[in-house]
Amino acid sequence: MIFELKYKVYGNLNFDKTLRIKKYPYEISLFKEDGGFYISISKKIDSNSVCIPTFVISDSNKEIKLPSIDSYQEMEDIISHIESFGALDNNLEYIDKLNVIMQWIPENENDHFSPFTKIKRNINENHKLNKISEDWLWSTVVHKNQLGELYIPFSFLRDGKMMFNTMKYQSSFCTFYMMLEYFFTEGNWGIKNDAYKRDKCLKNSLIKCLDELKKYEQHYKWLNDELATRKKTYSEEGLLFTLNMFRNELSHAVNKYKNRNPFNEHKFLSLTFITMMICINVSIKKRLLPFVQPNNIDEFLER
Protein backbone atom coordinates (compact mmCIF):
# COMPACT_ATOMS: atom_id res chain seq x y z
CA MET A 1 0.00 0.00 0.00
CA ILE A 2 1.07 3.57 -0.68
CA PHE A 3 0.69 6.25 2.00
CA GLU A 4 0.51 9.71 0.44
CA LEU A 5 0.33 13.28 1.74
CA LYS A 6 -0.98 15.85 -0.72
CA TYR A 7 -0.78 19.63 -0.24
CA LYS A 8 -1.95 22.67 -2.18
CA VAL A 9 0.86 24.99 -3.30
CA TYR A 10 0.51 28.75 -3.70
CA GLY A 11 2.77 30.93 -5.80
CA ASN A 12 3.62 32.06 -9.32
CA LEU A 13 5.09 28.74 -10.45
CA ASN A 14 6.23 27.87 -13.94
CA PHE A 15 6.55 24.26 -15.13
CA ASP A 16 5.13 22.40 -18.11
CA LYS A 17 4.58 18.85 -16.92
CA THR A 18 4.31 16.88 -13.70
CA LEU A 19 7.66 16.86 -11.92
CA ARG A 20 8.38 13.55 -10.22
CA ILE A 21 11.45 12.39 -8.33
CA LYS A 22 12.31 9.40 -6.13
CA LYS A 23 14.52 9.45 -3.09
CA TYR A 24 14.21 6.27 -1.06
CA PRO A 25 11.82 5.60 0.52
CA TYR A 26 9.84 8.54 -0.88
CA GLU A 27 8.38 9.65 -4.18
CA ILE A 28 7.68 13.38 -4.54
CA SER A 29 5.53 14.96 -7.25
CA LEU A 30 4.80 18.58 -8.13
CA PHE A 31 1.81 18.89 -10.47
CA LYS A 32 -1.17 20.91 -11.65
CA GLU A 33 -4.74 19.89 -10.84
CA ASP A 34 -8.08 21.69 -11.22
CA GLY A 35 -6.34 24.95 -12.07
CA GLY A 36 -4.09 24.88 -9.00
CA PHE A 37 -0.66 23.63 -7.98
CA TYR A 38 -0.13 20.62 -5.70
CA ILE A 39 2.75 18.68 -4.22
CA SER A 40 2.61 15.13 -2.88
CA ILE A 41 5.00 12.88 -1.03
CA SER A 42 4.42 9.14 -0.68
CA LYS A 43 6.01 5.94 0.54
CA LYS A 44 5.20 2.23 0.66
CA ILE A 45 3.79 0.89 3.94
CA ASP A 46 2.74 -2.52 5.23
CA SER A 47 -0.06 -3.62 7.56
CA ASN A 48 2.08 -2.90 10.64
CA SER A 49 2.74 0.71 9.72
CA VAL A 50 2.00 3.45 12.26
CA CYS A 51 0.80 5.58 9.34
CA ILE A 52 -2.48 3.64 9.13
CA PRO A 53 -5.59 5.29 10.65
CA THR A 54 -7.90 3.40 12.95
CA PHE A 55 -11.66 3.39 13.37
CA VAL A 56 -12.51 3.20 17.08
CA ILE A 57 -16.01 2.18 18.23
CA SER A 58 -16.87 2.48 21.93
CA ASP A 59 -20.45 2.26 23.16
CA SER A 60 -22.40 4.49 20.77
CA ASN A 61 -19.40 6.63 19.80
CA LYS A 62 -17.46 6.26 16.59
CA GLU A 63 -14.10 7.96 16.22
CA ILE A 64 -11.49 8.19 13.48
CA LYS A 65 -7.99 8.16 14.92
CA LEU A 66 -5.51 9.62 12.46
CA PRO A 67 -1.83 8.67 12.48
CA SER A 68 0.21 10.79 14.88
CA ILE A 69 2.28 13.54 13.28
CA ASP A 70 5.41 11.75 14.51
CA SER A 71 4.66 8.88 12.13
CA TYR A 72 5.08 11.11 9.07
CA GLN A 73 7.20 13.95 10.50
CA GLU A 74 10.07 13.30 8.12
CA MET A 75 7.69 13.60 5.15
CA GLU A 76 6.48 16.97 6.42
CA ASP A 77 10.08 18.06 7.00
CA ILE A 78 10.87 17.36 3.34
CA ILE A 79 7.84 19.43 2.26
CA SER A 80 8.97 22.28 4.55
CA HIS A 81 12.45 22.03 3.05
CA ILE A 82 11.02 22.33 -0.47
CA GLU A 83 8.84 25.24 0.66
CA SER A 84 11.82 27.18 2.04
CA PHE A 85 14.02 26.75 -1.01
CA GLY A 86 11.11 27.13 -3.44
CA ALA A 87 10.40 30.55 -1.93
CA LEU A 88 14.00 31.53 -2.60
CA ASP A 89 14.43 30.01 -6.06
CA ASN A 90 11.04 29.70 -7.76
CA ASN A 91 8.46 32.25 -6.53
CA LEU A 92 6.73 29.72 -4.28
CA GLU A 93 4.67 31.60 -1.66
CA TYR A 94 3.70 28.80 0.69
CA ILE A 95 2.50 25.20 0.93
CA ASP A 96 -0.76 24.69 2.82
CA LYS A 97 0.32 22.06 5.33
CA LEU A 98 -2.73 22.69 7.51
CA ASN A 99 -5.35 21.30 5.12
CA VAL A 100 -3.55 18.16 4.03
CA ILE A 101 -5.08 15.27 2.07
CA MET A 102 -4.03 11.84 3.36
CA GLN A 103 -4.43 8.88 1.03
CA TRP A 104 -3.92 5.13 1.44
CA ILE A 105 -3.67 3.68 -2.05
CA PRO A 106 -3.86 -0.12 -2.53
CA GLU A 107 -1.41 -1.56 -5.03
CA ASN A 108 -3.26 -4.88 -5.32
CA GLU A 109 -6.36 -6.68 -4.02
CA ASN A 110 -4.56 -7.74 -0.82
CA ASP A 111 -3.64 -4.17 0.04
CA HIS A 112 -6.88 -3.12 1.74
CA PHE A 113 -5.67 -3.08 5.35
CA SER A 114 -6.48 0.60 5.93
CA PRO A 115 -10.10 1.33 6.94
CA PHE A 116 -9.97 4.49 4.81
CA THR A 117 -8.60 5.35 1.40
CA LYS A 118 -8.73 9.13 1.73
CA ILE A 119 -9.14 11.73 4.49
CA LYS A 120 -9.02 15.48 3.94
CA ARG A 121 -8.24 17.66 6.94
CA ASN A 122 -10.20 20.87 6.35
CA ILE A 123 -9.27 22.81 9.46
CA ASN A 124 -9.71 26.26 7.91
CA GLU A 125 -13.21 25.39 6.72
CA ASN A 126 -14.36 24.07 10.10
CA HIS A 127 -14.05 27.29 12.09
CA LYS A 128 -17.34 28.35 13.63
CA LEU A 129 -17.88 32.00 12.73
CA ASN A 130 -19.46 34.52 15.06
CA LYS A 131 -22.24 36.57 13.53
CA ILE A 132 -21.35 40.27 13.19
CA SER A 133 -24.06 42.74 14.20
CA GLU A 134 -24.64 46.40 13.43
CA ASP A 135 -24.47 47.07 17.18
CA TRP A 136 -20.91 45.74 17.27
CA LEU A 137 -19.89 47.86 14.27
CA TRP A 138 -21.57 50.97 15.72
CA SER A 139 -20.07 50.61 19.22
CA THR A 140 -16.60 49.86 17.84
CA VAL A 141 -16.57 53.06 15.76
CA VAL A 142 -18.34 55.31 18.29
CA HIS A 143 -16.03 54.31 21.14
CA LYS A 144 -12.83 54.72 19.12
CA ASN A 145 -11.55 57.54 21.33
CA GLN A 146 -12.16 55.63 24.57
CA LEU A 147 -10.36 52.59 23.18
CA GLY A 148 -7.35 54.71 22.23
CA GLU A 149 -4.40 52.81 20.80
CA LEU A 150 -5.61 49.35 21.79
CA TYR A 151 -5.71 48.51 18.09
CA ILE A 152 -1.90 48.28 18.21
CA PRO A 153 -1.56 45.44 20.77
CA PHE A 154 -4.76 43.84 19.50
CA SER A 155 -3.15 43.64 16.04
CA PHE A 156 -0.48 41.41 17.63
CA LEU A 157 -3.28 39.16 18.91
CA ARG A 158 -4.83 39.06 15.43
CA ASP A 159 -1.53 38.21 13.72
CA GLY A 160 -0.62 35.66 16.38
CA LYS A 161 -3.94 33.84 15.94
CA MET A 162 -3.49 33.78 12.15
CA MET A 163 -0.06 32.18 12.55
CA PHE A 164 -1.36 29.75 15.18
CA ASN A 165 -4.12 28.60 12.81
CA THR A 166 -1.51 27.89 10.14
CA MET A 167 0.71 25.98 12.62
CA LYS A 168 3.51 28.58 12.64
CA TYR A 169 3.71 28.20 16.39
CA GLN A 170 7.11 29.79 17.03
CA SER A 171 6.32 33.02 15.21
CA SER A 172 2.85 32.97 16.73
CA PHE A 173 4.28 32.75 20.26
CA CYS A 174 6.69 35.63 19.65
CA THR A 175 3.83 37.77 18.32
CA PHE A 176 1.60 36.96 21.30
CA TYR A 177 4.51 37.82 23.59
CA MET A 178 4.81 41.24 21.92
CA MET A 179 1.21 41.95 22.86
CA LEU A 180 1.96 41.12 26.50
CA GLU A 181 5.16 43.15 26.33
CA TYR A 182 3.20 46.16 25.04
CA PHE A 183 1.06 46.17 28.18
CA PHE A 184 3.41 44.94 30.87
CA THR A 185 6.99 46.01 30.10
CA GLU A 186 8.60 48.16 32.77
CA GLY A 187 11.72 49.02 30.82
CA ASN A 188 12.84 49.15 27.22
CA TRP A 189 11.78 45.59 26.44
CA GLY A 190 10.62 42.31 27.97
CA ILE A 191 8.51 41.54 31.02
CA LYS A 192 10.13 41.18 34.42
CA ASN A 193 9.64 37.81 36.10
CA ASP A 194 7.89 39.44 39.05
CA ALA A 195 5.80 41.92 37.01
CA TYR A 196 2.60 40.09 38.00
CA LYS A 197 3.14 41.30 41.59
CA ARG A 198 2.68 44.89 40.45
CA ASP A 199 -0.02 44.49 37.78
CA LYS A 200 -3.40 43.07 38.73
CA CYS A 201 -4.46 42.53 35.11
CA LEU A 202 -1.40 40.39 34.39
CA LYS A 203 -1.72 38.46 37.65
CA ASN A 204 -5.42 37.74 37.12
CA SER A 205 -4.83 36.64 33.51
CA LEU A 206 -2.06 34.25 34.56
CA ILE A 207 -4.18 32.77 37.36
CA LYS A 208 -7.18 32.36 35.07
CA CYS A 209 -4.99 30.61 32.47
CA LEU A 210 -3.64 28.20 35.09
CA ASP A 211 -7.19 27.36 36.17
CA GLU A 212 -8.55 26.92 32.63
CA LEU A 213 -5.54 24.92 31.45
CA LYS A 214 -6.55 21.93 33.58
CA LYS A 215 -9.30 21.26 31.03
CA TYR A 216 -6.68 20.62 28.34
CA GLU A 217 -4.77 17.50 29.32
CA GLN A 218 -2.04 17.73 26.66
CA HIS A 219 -1.17 21.37 27.35
CA TYR A 220 -1.54 20.98 31.13
CA LYS A 221 0.94 18.09 31.10
CA TRP A 222 3.35 20.03 28.87
CA LEU A 223 3.43 23.00 31.24
CA ASN A 224 3.94 20.82 34.31
CA ASP A 225 6.83 19.04 32.59
CA GLU A 226 8.40 22.39 31.63
CA LEU A 227 8.01 23.74 35.16
CA ALA A 228 9.61 20.60 36.61
CA THR A 229 12.53 20.93 34.18
CA ARG A 230 13.01 24.58 35.16
CA LYS A 231 12.46 23.81 38.88
CA LYS A 232 9.42 26.06 39.12
CA THR A 233 5.96 25.57 40.65
CA TYR A 234 2.55 25.64 38.98
CA SER A 235 1.95 29.31 39.76
CA GLU A 236 1.87 32.78 38.24
CA GLU A 237 5.58 33.11 38.87
CA GLY A 238 6.39 29.77 37.25
CA LEU A 239 4.21 30.44 34.20
CA LEU A 240 5.60 33.93 33.54
CA PHE A 241 9.17 32.69 34.07
CA THR A 242 8.58 29.96 31.48
CA LEU A 243 7.21 32.43 28.92
CA ASN A 244 10.20 34.71 29.44
CA MET A 245 12.69 31.88 29.01
CA PHE A 246 11.10 30.78 25.74
CA ARG A 247 10.94 34.37 24.55
CA ASN A 248 14.70 34.66 25.07
CA GLU A 249 15.38 31.34 23.36
CA LEU A 250 13.11 31.92 20.35
CA SER A 251 14.55 35.37 19.70
CA HIS A 252 17.66 33.64 18.34
CA ALA A 253 18.57 31.02 15.74
CA VAL A 254 21.93 29.74 16.94
CA ASN A 255 20.93 26.33 18.30
CA LYS A 256 18.49 24.39 16.09
CA TYR A 257 17.27 22.32 19.07
CA LYS A 258 16.81 25.20 21.51
CA ASN A 259 16.26 28.29 19.34
CA ARG A 260 13.86 29.02 16.50
CA ASN A 261 13.66 26.25 13.92
CA PRO A 262 10.83 26.17 11.32
CA PHE A 263 11.26 22.41 10.98
CA ASN A 264 10.29 21.91 14.62
CA GLU A 265 6.98 23.79 14.89
CA HIS A 266 4.92 21.07 16.57
CA LYS A 267 7.15 21.15 19.66
CA PHE A 268 5.83 24.64 20.46
CA LEU A 269 2.09 23.98 20.10
CA SER A 270 1.37 23.90 23.84
CA LEU A 271 3.55 26.93 24.59
CA THR A 272 1.71 28.99 22.00
CA PHE A 273 -1.73 27.74 23.01
CA ILE A 274 -1.06 28.73 26.63
CA THR A 275 0.27 32.16 25.65
CA MET A 276 -2.77 32.74 23.45
CA MET A 277 -5.02 31.93 26.42
CA ILE A 278 -3.24 34.58 28.49
CA CYS A 279 -3.48 37.13 25.67
CA ILE A 280 -7.21 36.55 25.29
CA ASN A 281 -7.73 37.01 29.04
CA VAL A 282 -5.71 40.24 28.94
CA SER A 283 -7.56 41.47 25.85
CA ILE A 284 -10.96 41.06 27.49
CA LYS A 285 -9.84 43.08 30.51
CA LYS A 286 -8.13 45.80 28.47
CA ARG A 287 -11.07 46.14 26.08
CA LEU A 288 -13.57 46.69 28.90
CA LEU A 289 -11.31 48.72 31.21
CA PRO A 290 -11.96 52.14 29.55
CA PHE A 291 -15.65 51.79 30.47
CA VAL A 292 -15.12 50.87 34.13
CA GLN A 293 -15.68 53.54 36.78
CA PRO A 294 -12.36 54.59 38.42
CA ASN A 295 -13.47 53.46 41.87
CA ASN A 296 -14.33 49.98 40.49
CA ILE A 297 -11.10 49.33 38.56
CA ASP A 298 -9.30 47.28 41.24
CA GLU A 299 -12.33 45.07 41.78
CA PHE A 300 -12.76 44.63 38.02
CA LEU A 301 -9.13 43.58 37.51
CA GLU A 302 -9.31 41.04 40.31
CA ARG A 303 -12.39 39.23 38.98
Q: Where are the domains of the chain?
A: 2-126, 134-301
Segment 227-250 mean pLDDT: 94
Average of per-residue pLDDT values in the chain: 88
Range 87-107 average pLDDT = 89
Cross-strand partners of 39: 7, 30
**Torsion angle of the four alpha carbons 145, 151, 152, 158, in this order, in degrees rounded to the nearest 10:** 170
Given a cut of 80, whether residue 46 has pLDDT beyond it is yes
Pairing outcome for strands 36-44 and 54-58: unpaired
Note if the pTM is more than 0.85: no
Average pLDDT over residues 284-302: 84
Q: Given pLDDT bands bounded at 50, 70 and 90, which one contains residue 124? A: low
Any residues with CB less than 8 A from the CB of 262 and at least 6 apart, and which? 80, 84, 168, 170
Report CA dihedral (215, 221, 226, 232) to the nearest 10 degrees.
70
Rounded Cα distance between 244 and 248, Å, is: 6
Instruction: List the strands of the sheet with 118-120, edge to edge.
Output: 19-23, 26-33, 36-44, 2-11, 92-105, 118-120
- Name the pLDDT band for 294 (thresholds 50, 70, 90): confident
Phi and psi at residue 97, to the nearest 5°:
-85, -5
Contacts of 47 (CB under 8 A, 6+ apart): 113
Average pLDDT over residues 31-60: 88
Question: How far apart (Å, rounded) are the C-alpha atoms in residues 45 and 43?
Answer: 6
Partner residues linked to 7 by β-bridges: 39
